[in-house]
Amino acid sequence: MPRPLSHALFAALLSAATVLPGALSTAQAAPDKRNAPSRGIPYATREDAMQFADEIAARRNLDREWTRATIGNAKLLPNVPRLMLPAPTGTPKNWYVYRSRFIDPVRIQAGTRFWRNNAATLTRAEAEFGVPAEIIVGIIGVETIYGRNMGSFRVIDALATLAFDFPEAHPRASERQAFFRGELESFLSTESRTHENPLLPLGSYAGAMGMPQFMPSSIAKYAVDYDGDGRIDLVNNPIDVIGSVANYFKAFGWQPGMPPIFPVSFDQSRLQKAVLLGPDIVPTFSADAFVAGGAVLDGDAQRFKGLLALIELQNGGETPSYVAGTQNFYVITRYNWSSYYAMSVIELGREVRAAMEN
């Protein structure tokens, strides 16, 4: 194995990369052509970015020149801030349309392949972490089609853009910008320890990486070396990916054996829908309180000892769909704060399991 470069030498090479971008591997560094970093503005010219680099270096005990050179080589991606803006107010949600983006023959076929190829690891993870294989398979399928689409943006560019140029028009701009500054700091801290080129990792326009699309702080907190080879690889190693996703869910409170959802219908004569929807996706009601509010549950759900939430999935102008969500449904939304996302994960996992059984 080649000896890692010192931070001082590596910082010098990073500085050269600003002038000589061709020194990077074209295959690894080429981002989405619509957001080519070479067309962006390097953050080395920004006083606020360089000041933040100094703060990170001091706070994390990183080499100052390496930190400044790394952030200085990041480039503004002009289209990314726009992608972070929420949909215009009044835009109708549609579960049927949302579902169709993720529950399709391509993902189901890829999911069955992934499951068969990694059956032993999925079984091991389910036994050790309590997270069903179909949930792990559902997550990886929804996120990247099992590694087929892991993102083509340089992570350093995406994180720097959102750390320093988050759109002010966003309703939570200050909070979100602070989040991405934290993610940039976490990314640099991890990359500093690996002695690898921090300009090479690719990911989503928000800086999420690998098959499971972990943000840098999630990699630092929840990613695991599940095959014991001495390194964590969420890009090429499905064993590490499976263990890391399962560990993430366990850390957020996944309860082994608990279904994430139950079917629900309504007794219109005593329905208090506004009351049941009040806590949103947070499990709040006992089964008895749920029924008292006009919900109708089947036998298994009526005997459920945990708390429930009424989950509403709008269908454009059509009648919404509803399910009763448990603590485990809420845990899935900690991966992506959307009930539509959580339902897609659940349903894709179920479809892949059904395909496996046929």
- Catalytic (active-site) positions: 143
Cα separation of 324 and 321, whole Å? Answer: 11
* CA–CA distances in Å: residue 221 to residues 33, 137, 151, 214, 334: 32, 21, 22, 10, 14
Cα separation of 156 and 280, whole Å? Answer: 35
Q: Residue 160 contacts by C-beta under 8 Å, 6 or more apart in sequence?
A: 43, 49, 71, 74, 75, 76, 184
Q: Strand pairing partners for 325?
A: 261, 309
Q: Residue 159 contacts by C-beta under 8 Å, 6 or more apart in sequence?
A: 74, 180, 183, 184, 187, 207, 216
Cα separation of 157 and 159, whole Å? Answer: 6
Cα separation of 198 and 53, whole Å? Answer: 14
Cα separation of 276 and 293, whole Å? Answer: 7
